[in-house]
Chains A and B, each alone.
Chain A
Amino acid sequence: MADRSTRSPVRNPRTPAQELLDELGPVTQFHDTTHLGAFGMPSGAMTEDMLSSVATAGTPTRFGPLEKVHAFWFAGMSCDGCSVAVTGATLPSVESLLLGAHPGLPRVVLHHPVINMESGPYYLQPAEQAMAGRLDAPYVVILEGSIADEVVANASGGYWSSTGEEPWGPDGDLRPVTSTEWVARLAPNAAAMIAIGTCATWGGVPSAEGNPTGAMSLMDFLGKDYRSVLGVPVVNVPGCPPIGDNFTETVAAVLYFLQGFGPLPEFDELGRPAWLFGETVHRHCVRGAYYEEGQFAKDFGDPECLVEIGCWGPVVNCNIASRGAIMSVGGCMNAGGACIGCTMPGFPDKFTPFYKRPPGSMASTVVSRMVGSVIRPLRKFSNNNMNREVRWDRQHATPSAFSREKSEPSALAHVNHKFYDALRRSGDTSRNDADVWGKRQDEAPSGGSPRTRA
């Protein structure tokens, strides 16, 4: 196995992408399809053409100049989970993008193995056209999965991950083309290179300790200086799996901008959409207040904060707690799953072993336990007060059969509630002495129901 560290773009002025292309050399010709006939084309037409009649929109619907964008989806060292996540997206949905059915957006022509009708060499024809500069519209490349170090595999006469064959072997023989090679060849003329999922954005599980494939991220592969033809560095939408809506929203946001009506989307220093990954997941966590009050799950399944059973949420950039996993439903902590940092460059090796409390939580849980021991009784006290209708206070009775066992507040609590109410109402302008002349003065005082007929 080659030493990957020597191949890092920082120490080596050539990026891994350049290195691979230098080794493979330039290519000029493409798959000759004349002898193929209709092989792999059971619907007799390319998917793009099949959808043209429904997917083409006029300028008023598109709100802007872009009519059509090609999106080439490649899978490297991937589990296909990102593709699956994107099929779950609805903000916007992938079918609305493909059918040009989302007002404001150009039609997206997606070349994705799970969607397309054509198989075999025809499937890759548009990618060939993109390489040759013959495509009829701008294109973006989307990578799911890490980039395998094909230079390592090539050295032993093999490869890790391939998509299709091209006549790029010796004497124009067909040879398998790796997804890594496609990405390297398509990157220079792409309008944008988008990495989806933690494998493609940072390396993820395929590049974890012990990996044999030299797996790396798209940024590592293309290098720090990479810019698309629009001048954009690699865009990263992490998550393992990512939230489908985070991806389609990012694509949509870029297109809204290009159509001229949307603001310039902001990306953070790692190329993440800043509005989605700017906050830690802990900040929106449904269990956050348990942390604040110093209450922690001890057993799996407990309803409290999960930090002591292994949650890394306070130091992880992720929005699943507010966005939900799919259709705004779910979310790790919502269901009882501790955060293992799956969106982070450090995932997985900086978060293992799992199910173990993060050492960094020691200090803050001690503090929150202390604060919580004070805050919680006070909150409980006020909560009891707020659970009483004003009228029940006056009557010293709660008219619920469920409350039979519940005693009325003690005299001391009663005085305290009064004091609390006084505090709450300080500055309440309803106490000012303006004459309320629009109603009869003997009606019920505000906040209460009509006086009981005694």
Chain B
Amino acid sequence: MCFKTLPVEFDERGNAVLRGGIPNPYDVTVAKPDVDLSEEERRERIESLVARNGHIKDLNMDPVTRIAGALAVHVTADLDKRAYLDSHAQATLFRGYEVILMGRDPRDAIFVASRACGVCGGVHAHAAAYAIEQAMGIAPPPLGTVVRNMTEAAEMGYDNPLHLYLLAGPDYSESVIRSSNPELWPLAERWSCPNEHIHGFKTMSDLMTALNPLTGALYREGLEFTRLSREMVVILTGKYPHPQNVVPGGVSTTVTLQTLNEYHSRLGKIFDYAQRMMAVWDDIPAFFYEADDRYQFVGYRPTTQIDPGYWDDPYAYDATYENCNEWGEKRWSTPGVVIDGELVTTRLTDINIGWEEFVEHSYYEESSTTRFAQDMLGNPLSPYHPWNKRTLPKPGGRDWKDKYTWACAPRWDRKVVEAGCYSRLLMTAMAQKIPDSDFITATGTSMRLLVPKGEVGEREVEWHAPARWNALERNRGRAYHYLFSQLVGLESLLEAYKLMKQGEKRVAALDPSALEKAIPQDERVSVGWWGAGRGWLTHHLVMDKGKITNYQICTPSTINASPRDPWGQPGPYEEAVMNTPIIEDVSDPSRFTSIDMLRAIRSFDPCMPCTTHVHTGEGEVVREVNTCSCGGD
């Protein structure tokens, strides 16, 4: 029984049904999550503290740099108690991709949706393809799925080092430590790195110097490896970030032995680097925990995460909603929801029907609908579900108590869940449903990964689900996810060789004229479940008379940057900041840089470009913006 808040239970055949006898079962005053601290209580507490304490600063960091896209974070910081009392995340960019998609031919969706994000630009093209395929009932041939898996593994190969070394890394670099955490520097100079034999840095201070922006060896090596992985992507997609090869029902890549070898030879160079990456991001948390135990709480949130899975089994994936629980659980990365450390489901239908998006603290009028009461299998759907969503914007002044962002608040079973690439490790490890592999094993609490030999020897590494998810663990998880994704790339490459041996050449289900004829004229509803560099990605699609009538994108940063919900629960960034102790040296309050908050925020790898959406209803402009928040009135 995975739902605790929503009044949904399961019959003996495992189908979801609404618990009987509850009027307005989805009303926000009826199905309420347990909340520790209401918004009013939090505000009262802050107000009483402000009255007594002159050390409280109210500051808006706009823009936060070294993230992708535009984000501002407002904090109320108590420098005396060394705590962030309050925090509000606001994205400051608004665009119009969904509105542009609506009313179009579904064949436009892949290339237009791709432009939603250029940071991990391939993922939206793929998610759109999955949504269209489900709506049209066309499944790609195995080689098509395998090419997609190879592409998306390589894309993670670019995304993870970009974040770890260009965006997050400088927060742990010599330049920042000596200025914001001077007390740590002498320690770092004395601290010998346990993993020196792998990454080559003798002391933590050497390692931190290599993290310096632009001049540091690790920063530069990270940049080079993002390029190498992008070469692997463009061998298959033609260009990056917006791939030119994704088509409904497969890909249009011309796959030859040369293609596979060009991918293969580059992949071969990555494994040594992956070993160094994990060694670096194992040593950094070790040093910080040892230096000051409070680092356990920088960016801390409970273990409550969600992921729809990633990288399909080419033989199981059949593009149907009806069989999604079977093919979903065969993904290389298992779908799942973990609530307070407990894996409550791995079924895509549960993930889908528990999903809602709220606008109480966003510049919208309430606009849920009951257009679809059930999904295609008869499972109940909330009026706040993306298929039912119609959002009416109402720009206004910024008021932390009321509306302060263009963001909406996605929740699962009305709980605040987090998305991340590391969630893939967590779900897959706990579920133990991963396909058989010589390289990847899930143990229930950890992932055992075998790194093939490069110039450095073969080695087995193990990622353990952390007891406490914080900024350092997110970064460590990302480093292990890098290896995980590259091993999926390797497995998929081997599958491609196997298919080629069997003489398999087909990469798409339909040719262009058959595709045109296959566009259905009746109403179809579908969802593409996929992933991005930051985890979760879904595209919910409705089409009718061969035309897109509703299109809803939910990205990982939409989830993580979300504002308060109807019950006052802060979004993941906000919650993580409020849990973060102020450890930096603030003996002189004017020296307060807010580095601890920055480390917390950046560990989520915020990626704001694609968190902003709009859509129109009939006639009037009706905008639906998932996470675009504008920093003020």
B370-407 residues with Cβ-Cβ distance < 8 A to A are: 395-397
> Of B237, B247, B252, B255, which is in contact with the most chain A CB atoms at under 10 Å from its CB?
B252
Q: In the complex, are the beta carbons of B61 and A39 less than 8 A apart?
A: yes
Q: Beyond A99-B214, A209-B100, is A39–B252 a contact (Cβ under 8 Å)?
A: no
Q: Does B553 contact A (CB under 8 A)?
A: no
Q: Which residue of A lies closest to B120 (CB)?
A: A84
Which of B236, B245, B623 neighbours the largest number of chain A CB atoms within 10 Å of its CB?
A: B245
Interface string of A227-260 (1 = CB under 8 A from B): 0000000000000110100000000000000000
Contact B167 A335 (CB under 8 A): no
Partner of B108, one of A81, A119, A326, A354: A354
Q: How far is the CA of A372 from the CA of B108 in the complex (A)?
A: 33
Interface size on A, as a range, is 35 or more
Across the interface, do B215 and A327 meet the contact criterion of CB distance under 8 Å? no
Contact: A160 with B226, CB < 8 Å? no
> In angstroms, how far is the closest chain A Cβ from the Cβ of B74?
11
Q: Which of A110-118, A359-367, A441-449 contacts B (4 or more CB under 8 A)?
A: A110-118
| Cα distance A78–B68 in the bound complex, in angstroms | 11
Selected from B173, B240, B512, the residue in CB contact (under 8 A) with A330 is B240
Complex-state Cα separation, A123 to B254, whole angstroms? 45
Given A162-B631, A210-B102, A353-B108: A338 and B252 interface contact (C-beta under 8 Å):
yes
Interface pairs (30), CB distance under 8 Å:
A1-B621, A37-B589, A42-B180, A42-B594, A42-B595, A43-B179, A45-B179, A75-B70, A79-B117, A87-B226, A88-B226, A88-B227, A95-B214, A117-B213, A119-B66, A175-B633, A204-B115, A206-B100, A210-B103, A215-B96, A241-B240, A300-B250, A301-B252, A301-B254, A309-B252, A320-B239, A335-B245, A337-B238, A337-B253, A354-B107
Does chain B have a CB within 8 A of A316?
no
B591 contacts A120, C-beta separation under 8 Å = no
Kindly provide the distance from the CB of B551 to the nearest chain A CB, expressed in whole angstroms. 11
The answer to the question of B95 belonging to the interface, with a C-beta cut-off of 8 Å to chain A, is yes
Stretch of A47-55, A57-65, A398-406, A410-418 lying at the B interface: A47-55
Contacting pair B107 A356 (CB below 8 A): yes
Chain-B contact segment, one of A128-136, A151-159, A262-270, A431-439: A151-159
Let me know if B630 and A159 touch, CB within 8 A: yes
> Would A352 and B108 count as touching, CB distance under 8 A?
yes
Contact with A along B227-256 (1 / 0, CB 8 A): 100110111111111111101101111111
Interface residues of B in 401-424 (CB under 8 A from A): none
Given A212-B99, A326-B240, decide whether A119 and B632 contact each other with a Cβ distance below 8 A: no
Q: How many residues of B contact A (CB 8 A)?
A: 110
Q: Is A317 an interface residue (CB 8 A)?
A: no
Among residues of A, the one whose C-beta sits closest to the C-beta of B250 is A300
Whether B100 lies near A80 (C-beta < 8 A) is no
Bitwise, B508-541 to A at CB < 8 A (1) or not (0) is 1001100110000000000000000000000000
| Residues of A in contact with B (beta carbons under 8 Å apart) | 1, 36-45, 47, 50-51, 54, 75, 77-85, 87-88, 90, 95, 98-99, 113-121, 123, 148, 153, 156-165, 174-176, 204-206, 208-213, 215, 240-241, 243, 298-303, 306, 308-310, 320, 324-327, 329-340, 342, 348, 352-357
- Interface presence of B507 (CB below 8 A): yes
Q: Which of A42, A78, A348 has the most CB of B within 10 A?
A: A42
Given contacts A45-B179, A301-B506, contact A338 B226 (CB under 8 A): no
Cross-interface CB contact of B170 among A1, A117, A215, A310, cutoff 8 Å: A117
| A43-B175, A327-B231 given; A335·B244 CB < 8 A | yes
Determine, out of B270-278, B298-306, B609-617, the stretch whose residues face the partner at the interface.
B609-617
* Residues in chain A near residue B170, CB distance under 8 A: 43, 117
- The contact of A81 among B60, B175, B241, by CB within 8 Å, is B241
**Which of A39, A119, A348 has the most CB atoms of chain B within a 10 A radius of its CB?**
A119
Task: Name the B residues within 8 Å of A209 (CB-CB).
Answer: 100
List the 10 closest pairs (A to B, CB-CB), nearest first: A81-B118, A337-B244, A330-B234, A44-B179, A37-B590, A158-B395, A79-B118, A337-B238, A300-B508, A301-B507
B235 A330 Cβ-Cβ under 8 A: yes
Contact A356 B65 (CB under 8 A): no
- B593: chain A residues at CB < 8 Å are 38-42, 44
Give chain B nearest CB distance to A427 CB in angstroms. Answer: 38
In the complex, A99→B236 CA distance in Å?
A: 33
Residue of chain B at shortest CB distance from A1: B621
Q: For A45, list chain B residues within 8 Å (CB).
A: 175, 179
B241/A241 in contact, CB under 8 A: yes
Q: Is B127 an interface residue (CB 8 A)?
A: no
CA distance A90 to B66 in the complex (A): 21
> Given A42-B598, A81-B118, A300-B508, does the pair A160, B112 have CB atoms closer than 8 Å?
no
- B121 and A79 form a contact (CB under 8 A): yes
Partner of B121, one of A84, A215, A327, A330: A84
Closest chain-A Cβ to B542's Cβ sits at a distance in Å of 16
Residues A165 and B250 in contact, CB atoms below 8 Å apart = no
Q: Knowing A301-B251, A352-B104 touch, does A78 contact B239 (C-beta < 8 A)? A: no
Find the B residue at minimum CB distance from A335.
B238
CA distance A163 to B61 in the complex (A): 11
Nearest CB of chain A from residue B600's CB, rounded to whole Å: 13
A165 touches B60 (CB 8 A): yes
Minimal Cβ-Cβ distance residue in A for B124: A79
Count chain B CB atoms within 10 A of each CB in A1, A83, A308 and give the residue with the most: A83
- Which residues of B have CB within 8 Å of A160? 93-95, 630
Flag whether B358 is at the interface (Cβ < 8 A): no
Indicate if the CB atoms of A95 and B631 lie closer than 8 Å: no
Please tell me if the beta carbons of B66 and A114 are within 8 angstroms of each other in the complex. yes
Additional pairs, 9, CB under 8 Å, beyond known A119-B64, A332-B244 = A1-B621, A42-B180, A123-B63, A210-B96, A212-B96, A300-B250, A302-B254, A326-B240, A336-B245
